[in-house]
Protein backbone atom coordinates (compact mmCIF):
# COMPACT_ATOMS: atom_id res chain seq x y z
CA UNK A 1 0.00 0.00 0.00
CA UNK A 2 1.15 3.49 -0.87
CA UNK A 3 0.68 6.50 1.41
CA UNK A 4 -0.84 9.74 0.13
CA UNK A 5 2.40 11.71 -0.28
CA UNK A 6 4.07 8.89 -2.21
CA UNK A 7 1.00 8.49 -4.44
CA UNK A 8 0.92 12.22 -5.21
CA UNK A 9 4.62 12.13 -6.12
CA UNK A 10 4.03 9.11 -8.38
CA UNK A 11 1.21 10.96 -10.14
CA UNK A 12 3.51 13.93 -10.70
CA UNK A 13 5.88 11.49 -12.48
CA UNK A 14 3.24 10.87 -15.15
CA UNK A 15 4.38 12.52 -18.40
CA UNK A 16 2.94 16.02 -18.67
CA UNK A 17 1.64 16.23 -15.09
CA UNK A 18 1.19 19.84 -13.96
CA UNK A 19 -0.48 19.29 -10.60
CA UNK A 20 -2.48 16.84 -8.53
CA UNK A 21 -4.77 17.06 -5.52
CA UNK A 22 -6.47 14.47 -3.33
CA UNK A 23 -9.81 16.05 -2.47
CA UNK A 24 -12.67 15.40 -0.05
CA UNK A 25 -15.78 15.99 -2.17
CA UNK A 26 -17.93 16.51 0.93
CA UNK A 27 -16.02 19.61 2.04
CA UNK A 28 -14.13 20.57 -1.12
CA UNK A 29 -10.88 20.63 0.82
CA UNK A 30 -7.64 19.30 -0.62
CA UNK A 31 -6.14 16.70 1.72
CA UNK A 32 -2.86 16.78 -0.17
CA UNK A 33 -1.38 18.42 -3.27
CA UNK A 34 1.71 18.27 -5.44
CA UNK A 35 2.78 20.53 -8.28
CA UNK A 36 0.59 23.40 -9.34
CA UNK A 37 1.97 26.92 -9.10
CA UNK A 38 0.95 30.44 -10.03
CA UNK A 39 -0.99 29.22 -13.07
CA UNK A 40 -2.74 26.38 -11.23
CA UNK A 41 -3.95 27.00 -7.67
CA UNK A 42 -4.74 23.47 -6.53
CA UNK A 43 -6.85 24.53 -3.54
CA UNK A 44 -9.12 26.57 -5.84
CA UNK A 45 -9.18 23.69 -8.34
CA UNK A 46 -10.10 21.25 -5.55
CA UNK A 47 -13.08 23.34 -4.48
CA UNK A 48 -14.22 23.99 -8.06
CA UNK A 49 -13.99 20.37 -9.13
CA UNK A 50 -15.98 19.34 -6.08
CA UNK A 51 -18.90 21.16 -7.72
CA UNK A 52 -18.30 19.14 -10.91
CA UNK A 53 -18.45 15.84 -8.99
CA UNK A 54 -21.57 16.89 -7.08
CA UNK A 55 -23.36 18.02 -10.25
CA UNK A 56 -22.56 14.77 -12.06
CA UNK A 57 -23.70 12.65 -9.11
CA UNK A 58 -26.99 14.62 -8.95
CA UNK A 59 -27.54 14.18 -12.69
CA UNK A 60 -26.86 10.45 -12.45
CA UNK A 61 -29.30 10.15 -9.57
CA UNK A 62 -32.03 11.98 -11.52
CA UNK A 63 -31.40 9.65 -14.47
CA UNK A 64 -31.41 6.56 -12.23
CA UNK A 65 -27.89 5.66 -13.35
CA UNK A 66 -26.44 3.32 -10.75
CA UNK A 67 -23.01 2.83 -12.32
CA UNK A 68 -19.96 4.36 -10.68
CA UNK A 69 -17.96 7.18 -12.21
CA UNK A 70 -14.55 5.91 -13.32
CA UNK A 71 -13.30 9.38 -14.23
CA UNK A 72 -14.40 12.70 -15.65
CA UNK A 73 -12.31 14.28 -18.39
CA UNK A 74 -12.24 18.01 -19.09
CA UNK A 75 -10.34 18.88 -22.26
CA UNK A 76 -8.89 22.38 -22.60
CA UNK A 77 -6.84 23.87 -25.44
CA UNK A 78 -3.54 23.03 -23.75
CA UNK A 79 -4.45 20.72 -20.87
CA UNK A 80 -6.39 17.65 -19.81
CA UNK A 81 -8.03 17.70 -16.39
CA UNK A 82 -8.92 14.31 -14.94
CA UNK A 83 -11.23 13.87 -11.95
CA UNK A 84 -11.16 10.34 -10.57
CA UNK A 85 -13.34 9.36 -7.58
CA UNK A 86 -11.59 6.77 -5.41
CA UNK A 87 -13.28 3.39 -5.58
CA UNK A 88 -11.84 1.82 -2.42
CA UNK A 89 -13.84 1.71 0.78
CA UNK A 90 -11.19 3.79 2.60
CA UNK A 91 -11.31 6.37 -0.19
CA UNK A 92 -15.08 6.86 -0.20
CA UNK A 93 -15.93 10.53 -0.66
CA UNK A 94 -12.47 11.35 -2.05
CA UNK A 95 -11.28 12.05 -5.58
CA UNK A 96 -8.04 12.66 -7.37
CA UNK A 97 -7.76 15.75 -9.55
CA UNK A 98 -4.92 15.76 -12.07
CA UNK A 99 -3.96 18.43 -14.60
CA UNK A 100 -1.85 17.30 -17.58
CA UNK A 101 -0.22 19.22 -20.41
CA UNK A 102 -1.74 18.02 -23.70
CA UNK A 103 1.50 18.40 -25.63
CA UNK A 104 3.46 16.20 -23.21
CA UNK A 105 0.97 13.58 -22.06
CA UNK A 106 -0.57 10.41 -23.41
CA UNK A 107 -4.13 10.43 -22.08
CA UNK A 108 -4.64 6.66 -22.27
CA UNK A 109 -1.35 5.98 -20.49
CA UNK A 110 -2.06 8.65 -17.87
CA UNK A 111 -5.46 7.08 -17.10
CA UNK A 112 -3.84 3.65 -16.85
CA UNK A 113 -1.13 4.91 -14.48
CA UNK A 114 -3.65 6.83 -12.38
CA UNK A 115 -5.79 3.71 -11.96
CA UNK A 116 -2.75 1.69 -10.87
CA UNK A 117 -1.68 4.34 -8.35
CA UNK A 118 -5.24 4.64 -7.02
CA UNK A 119 -5.42 0.87 -6.49
CA UNK A 120 -2.26 0.99 -4.34
CA UNK A 121 -3.29 4.12 -2.40
CA UNK A 122 -4.02 3.68 1.30
CA UNK A 123 -5.92 6.68 2.66
CATH of the domain at 75: 3.30.450.30
95 neighbors 109 (Cβ within 8 angstroms): no
Residue 120: band (very low, low, confident or very high) from pLDDT cuts 50, 70, 90: confident
Q: Please give the backbone phi and psi of residue 100, each rounded to the nearest 5 degrees, phi first.
A: -125, 145
Q: Give me the pLDDT at residue 1, please.
A: 66
pLDDT tens, position by position, 45-73: 999 999 999 999 999 999 999 999 999 99
- Cα separation, 44 vs 74, whole angstroms: 16
Task: Give the range of the structural domain holding residue 99, as residue numbers without chain letter.
Answer: 4-120
Report how many domains make up the chain: 1
Q: Give me the pLDDT at residue 121, please.
A: 85
90 neighbors 81 (Cβ within 8 angstroms): no
Amino acid sequence: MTDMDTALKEIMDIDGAVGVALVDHTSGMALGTAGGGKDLDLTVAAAGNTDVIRAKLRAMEMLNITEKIEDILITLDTQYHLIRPLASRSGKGLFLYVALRRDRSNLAMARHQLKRIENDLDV
